[in-house]
Amino acid sequence: MPQIIPIKDLKNTSEVSALCHRTSGPVFITKNGYGDMVLMSMETYEKNLYLQDIYTKLDEAEREITEGKVLDAREALQALRDKHGL
């Protein structure tokens, strides 16, 4: 369940920090009843960046497959062996 707090609660920084570290997702900050900001711990942020990088690479790989930009695995491995003298 998403954590939502009003902007006035940001005055208590230690409690907001603890909330960000207790939850594994973002904490939504509202202003006058509307969404205004999102806070999260560094761990959550870095995890999200890592996952975004993986998803981007998977999307690129799937696009290359649909475009036919693929190699036979045995041929690719043999080319690497030949290149590096293995």
Judgement on whether residues 80 and 56 belong to the same structural domain of the protein: yes
Give 6-48 pLDDT, tens digit per residue: 999 999 999 999 999 999 899 999 999 999 999 999 999 999 9
Q: How far is the C-alpha of 2 from the C-alpha of 49, rounded, in Å?
A: 19
Domain co-membership, 58 together with 78: yes
Burial class (CB in 10 A: 0-12, 13-18, 19+), 85: exposed
Q: What is the CATH number of the domain that holds 21?
A: 3.40.1620.10
Contact 19, 5 (CB under 8 A): yes
- Enter the pTM of the model: 0.72
Question: Looking at the structure, do residues 36 and 60 belong to the same domain, yes or no?
Answer: no
Among residues of the chain, what percentage have pLDDT more than 70?
100
- Domain total for the chain? 2
Work out whether strand 27-31 and strand 34-39 pair parallel, antiparallel, or are unpaired: antiparallel
Residue 71 is predicted with a pLDDT of 87
Same domain (yes/no): 33, 52: no
Q: Are the C-beta atoms of residues 22 and 40 closer than 8 Å to each other?
A: no
47 and 80: one domain? yes
Query: What's the domain range around 20?
Result: 3-40
Same structural domain, 35 and 52: no
